[in-house]
Amino acid sequence: MSIKFSKLDKSNAKIIYDFLENGPSDDTIFSRATLYAWPENHDVCAYIDKDYVLIAYRCEAGRRIFMSPLVKKEENFLKAVEALESHGTRVISQVNSWQAELLKDEGFELRYWPDRSEYLYLPEDLIELKGKKYHAKRNFINGFKYPYTYREYNGSEKDRQGIFDLFKLNMEVRYENEKEIKEEHLPGHHETLDYIRSTSETEIIAIGRILDDYSFFNVKADVLEIEGKIVGFTAGEVLPNGIGGLYFEKGDINYRGIYPFIDNLYCKTHFQGVRYINKQEDMGIPGLKQSKESYYPIQMAKLYSARRVAEQPKIK
């Protein structure tokens, strides 16, 4: 079977979302923010069939990494895998749970990716924050007494610069915290200073692309202002699969309770009625993991890599 991949461009975006609307998934790996905004995702190519979409990274680099196929119906998944294997691949990345079960039966070896699996929450939990487990969150929110304005990003240069300044402030706080940990020889996970700088700069590039092409990315980006200064920023979208994806959340920690406050405001404003709220992965960073777990996820959108280890297949 001959498959010709083409460079992923904006003309593919609607087709991908049409598949996503009908496909069984809870993750955000096919969101426009994921596929089009992040710098490392710019060497991406795709093959689109009536029954499935195949996407690969590092296409021009010559060593392709294939995502698990996007399908509208589960019965088309193994057909799409067969197409991938005809193209020569033996490894598939970002495989979700139901796909993993099928691939295991077909002779693939599965490896769970805890650092890349995504946190899922019931919308009513994050909107209402009921019960003893959310007591601390409610206290932070109730104690947030600053006079504020909460609104959508307005596309102005002032808003754009205010958002960038907030991202840079976040980078500086992470950087100084890590320096203190190293200087005091404190225990725990250590992010390298170069890693902090590189990931923060990558984030700034990604959010810049989203703000530059706001309508294309389908996001809702909100800012929290105090005395005319942006001190909180949140961005996400309601995906066609009914998932509320929360992609960015930045706050000025000089304002106590800023993170629970903007998180709750955003969920109330944009995620009423979604199936799940997805806060994406923790990337293996303990502080991020602790933060996401503090909201008590209902489950994980588990992701795996799959490698062909058995003889060629029972796929029909």
Q: Measure the CA–CA gap between 235 and 248, rounded to whole angstroms.
A: 5
Same domain, 130 and 265: yes
Give the total number of structural domains in the chain.
2
Place of tokens 């303990």: 286
pTM here is: 0.92
Same domain, 138 and 90: no
Q: Which residue has the higher pLDDT, 39 or 89?
A: 89
What local confidence, expressed as pLDDT, does residue 185 receive? 47
Same domain, 93 and 224: no
Residue 146, domain extent: 123-297
> 244 lies in a domain?
yes
CB 254: neighbour CB atoms within 10 A? 10
Same domain, 65 and 87: yes
Calculate the alpha carbon distances from 164 to 199, 297, 308 in Å.
14, 29, 44
Asked if the model's pLDDT at residue 279 lies above 50, the reply is yes
Same domain, 134 and 69: no
| Amino acid identity for residue 204 in this structure | I
Same domain, 58 and 133: no
Per-residue pLDDT band for 312 (boundaries 50, 70, 90) equals low
Residues 43/59, Cβ–Cβ less than 8 Å? yes
What local confidence, expressed as pLDDT, does residue 22 receive? 81
Same domain, 108 and 172: no
Q: Measure the CA–CA gap between 30 and 240, rounded to whole angstroms.
A: 10
161: domain CATH number is: 3.40.630.30
What local confidence, expressed as pLDDT, does residue 196 receive? 73
Q: Measure the CA–CA gap between 271 and 284, rounded to whole angstroms.
A: 26
Same domain, 17 and 101: yes
Average pLDDT estimate for 3-20: 94
Same domain, 137 and 261: yes
Which of 247, 304, 244, 303 has the alpha carbon at shortest distance from 276? 244
Which of 86, 89, 100, 235 has the alpha carbon at shortest distance from 160? 235
What pLDDT digit, counting tens, does each position of 290-302 carry?
999 999 999 999 9
What pLDDT digit, counting tens, does each position of 165-181 carry?
999 999 888 777 766 55
What pLDDT digit, counting tens, does each position of 203-255 carry?
999 999 999 999 999 999 999 999 999 999 999 999 999 999 999 999 999 99
> 206 lies in a domain?
yes
How would DSSP label each residue in 142-174?
Answer: HT-----EEEE----HHHHHHHHHHHHHHHHHH
> 314 lies in a domain?
no
DSSP 1: -
Same domain, 112 and 141: no
Backbone angles phi, psi at 61, to 5 degrees: -70, -15
